[in-house]
């Protein structure tokens, strides 16, 4: 307990926000170093005032700090500070990292993380895509980060768990206040296989102003952020904007042009976000990570062989060619037409036949996918 009290003390002082906390830590090395510094030394730090300097030199620890730390310990939560080796490395790089995190579970060390976020009120297409994408990314060695919210976040966490891999949930409430309440089981499953984290006090509720703060942690931990379904005014777009400000990649999964739930995603695409049709679109964005590229080659080969084995022998060569081009992620009919170089009418007939045979499925907007069962994959949709 004594180890973290100075961190709580410094963070509790009026005027000491996350930006100033980081500047003080970079200058003096630790909260103890900050409190031992002279007024003259402290005044050299940008953003500090005489009032803050006076508060730093106060010997009085605010009421409630010790009881808050004791509560976290009683519940089995860890408190991981910025200079702790368990603190996520990429999160340290953002301008305003939380000085400490409440953690339940085990944070992954040196993980290559990707955030998946999106609509709380998602369509079945969005849920299926987010879960499949998270599962395949997890199998490719990517650690999935999301916010455990309803909809896309929940699907993303379950996708990682489907793959038997760890995932990290970042809450907009304290760890003692599970939100949304229907995700209680998911909360425990994530903690058993990864970590649930928060910067908020143990019993803090899901206040609206917490979520933009939560979002900067989600993208701050990650190499990039994937948005799956988002309306024009969506918290997921805030996460995408924060990711850009942090110098991270932003990806978007296209949806139906007729769905308002994809309007925000399509705006991201117009603004330059990378379009995601399959897991390789994400892995290829990081050529400096060799294991991603090795996994791409292996996955491409395995998927092609698997789809080839499962195609009925009664199909014509052209029908097989169309089926080979499809995977678990939606491909628009126009993109298929350009690849197979046949007339749209003929292609529509082939796709209709494949759909009637149960080999492919059609999503709104003339997007087609290989059925998961046809790919030899079965997902338990919760």
Q: Are 321 and 305 in contact (CB under 8 A)?
A: no
Q: Output 304 or 200, whichever has higher pLDDT.
A: 200
Peptide bond into 199 cis (omega under 30): no
Beta-carbon neighbour count of residue 162 at 10 Å?
21
Is residue 72 pLDDT above 50, yes or no?
A: yes
Is the pLDDT at 131 greater than 60? The verdict is: yes
CA distance 371 to 351: 13
Which has more pLDDT, 320 or 301? 320
Distance between start and end Cα atoms, the chain: 40
Top pLDDT among 241 and 289 is at 241
Residue 170 DSSP SS3: strand
pLDDT band at 380 (very low <50, low <70, confident <90, very high): very low
| Rounded Cα gap, residues 77 and 247, in angstroms | 31
Does the predicted model carry a pTM greater than 0.95?
Answer: no
* Residue 229 vs residues 128, 221, 237: alpha-carbon distances, Å: 11, 21, 10
* Domain made up of 113-290: CATH architecture: 3-Layer(aba) Sandwich (3.40)
**Higher per-residue confidence, 9 vs 61:** 9
Q: Where are the domains of the chain?
A: 1-64, 113-290, 311-370
pLDDT, residue 294, reads: 57
Predicted local distance difference test score (pLDDT) of residue 159: 96
pLDDT at 375 over 50: no
- Say how far apart CA 178 and CA 182 lie, in whole Å: 9
Q: Do domains 1-64 and 311-370 have the same CATH topology?
A: no
pLDDT score at 378: 31
What number does CATH give the domain 311-370?
1.10.10.10
Query: 150: which 2 tokens?
Result: 């309803």
Residue 8: helix, strand or coil by DSSP?
A: helix
Neighbours of 289 (CB within 10 A): 15
293: Cβ contacts below 8 Å, ≥ 6 apart: 283, 284, 287
Residue 233 is predicted with a pLDDT of 81
- The mean of the pLDDT values for the chain is 89
Query: pLDDT-based confidence at 257, cuts 50/70/90?
Result: confident
In sequence order, the 6+-apart residues with CB closer than 8 A to the CB of 338 are none
For the ranges 99-103, 263-267, 292-296, the lowest mean pLDDT is seen at 292-296
Q: What is the per-residue pLDDT for 210?
A: 96
How would residue 82 be classed by pLDDT, with cut points 50, 70 and 90? very high
Q: Taking every pair of C-alpha atoms in the chain, what is the biggest distance, in angstroms? A: 83
Q: Which fold has domain 1-64?
A: DNA polymerase; domain 1 (1.10.150)
Q: Where are the alpha helices (DSSP H) in the chain?
A: 5-12, 18-28, 31-36, 39-42, 50-56, 65-74, 124-139, 152-162, 184-193, 210-220, 235-245, 263-270, 279-283, 290-310, 317-324, 333-340, 344-356
Buried b (16+ CB within 10 A) or exposed e, 202-226: bebebeeebbebbbbbbbbbbbbbb
Would you state the pLDDT for residue 295? 58
Residue 299 above 60 pLDDT?
no
Token pair for 237: 């777009």
Q: Is the dihedral of CA 170, 171, 176, 179 positive or negative?
A: negative
Query: Which range among 98-112, 294-308, 346-360 shows the weakest confidence by mean pLDDT?
Result: 294-308
Q: Decide which of 53 and 338 is more confident.
A: 53
DSSP state of 196: E
Confidence of residue 95 (pLDDT cuts 50, 70, 90): very high
Sheet holding 195-198, edge to edge: 78-81, 100-105, 195-198, 167-170, 143-146, 113-118, 224-228, 249-253, 274-275
The CA distances from residue 100 to 29, 201, 239, 262, in Å, are 15, 11, 21, 35
Give the whole-angstrom CA distance, residue 150 versus residue 229: 13
Phi, psi of 260 (to 5 degrees): -65, -20
Q: Residue 91 has what DSSP assignment?
A: G
What count of other Cβ atoms lies within 10 Å of the Cβ of residue 201? 18
């Amino acid at each position: 307990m004594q180890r973290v009290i100075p961190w709580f003390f410094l963070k509790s002082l009026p005027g000491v926000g996350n930006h100033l906390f980081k500047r003080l830590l970079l200058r003096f090395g630790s909260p103890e170093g900050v409190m031992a510094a002279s007024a003259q030394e402290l005044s050299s730090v940008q953003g500090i005032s005489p009032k803050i300097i006076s508060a730093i030199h106060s010997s009085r620890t605010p009421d409630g700090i010790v009881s808050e730390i004791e509560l976290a310990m009683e519940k089995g939560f860890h408190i991981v500070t910025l200079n702790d080796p368990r603190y996520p490395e990429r999160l340290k790089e953002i301008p305003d990292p939380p000085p400490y995190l409440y953690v339940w579970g085990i944070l992954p060390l040196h993980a290559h993380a990707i955030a998946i976020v999106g609509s709380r009120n998602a369509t079945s297409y969005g849920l299926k895509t987010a879960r499949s994408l998270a599962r395949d990314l997890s199998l490719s060695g990517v650690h999935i980060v999301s916010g455990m919210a309803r909809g896309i976040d929940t699907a993303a966490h379950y996708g990682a768990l489907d793959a038997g891999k760890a995932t990290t949930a970042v809450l907009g409430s304290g760890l003692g206040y599970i939100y949304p309440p229907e995700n209680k089981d998911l909360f425990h499953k994530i903690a058993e296989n990864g970590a649930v984290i928060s910067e908020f006090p143990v019993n803090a509720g899901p206040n609206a102003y917490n979520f933009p703060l939560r979002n900067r942690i989600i993208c701050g931990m990650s190499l990039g952020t994937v948005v799956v379904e988002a309306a024009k005014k969506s918290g997921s777009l805030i996460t995408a904007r924060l990711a850009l400000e942090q110098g991270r990649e932003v990806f978007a999964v296209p949806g139906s042009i007729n769905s308002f739930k994809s309007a925000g995603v399509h705006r991201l695409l117009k603004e330059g976000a990378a379009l995601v049709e399959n897991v390789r679109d994400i892995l290829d964005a990081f050529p400096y990570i060799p294991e991603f590229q090795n996994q791409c080659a292996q996955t491409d080969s395995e998927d092609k062989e698997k789809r080839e084995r499962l195609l009925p022998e009664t199909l014509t060569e052209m029908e097989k060619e169309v089926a080979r081009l499809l995977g678990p992620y939606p491909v628009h009919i126009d993109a298929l037409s350009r690849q197979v170089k046949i007339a749209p009418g003929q292609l529509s007939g082939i796709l209709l036949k494949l759909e009637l045979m149960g080999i492919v499925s059609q999503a709104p907007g003339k997007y087609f996918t290989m059925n998961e069962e046809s790919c030899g994959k079965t997902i338990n949709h919760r």
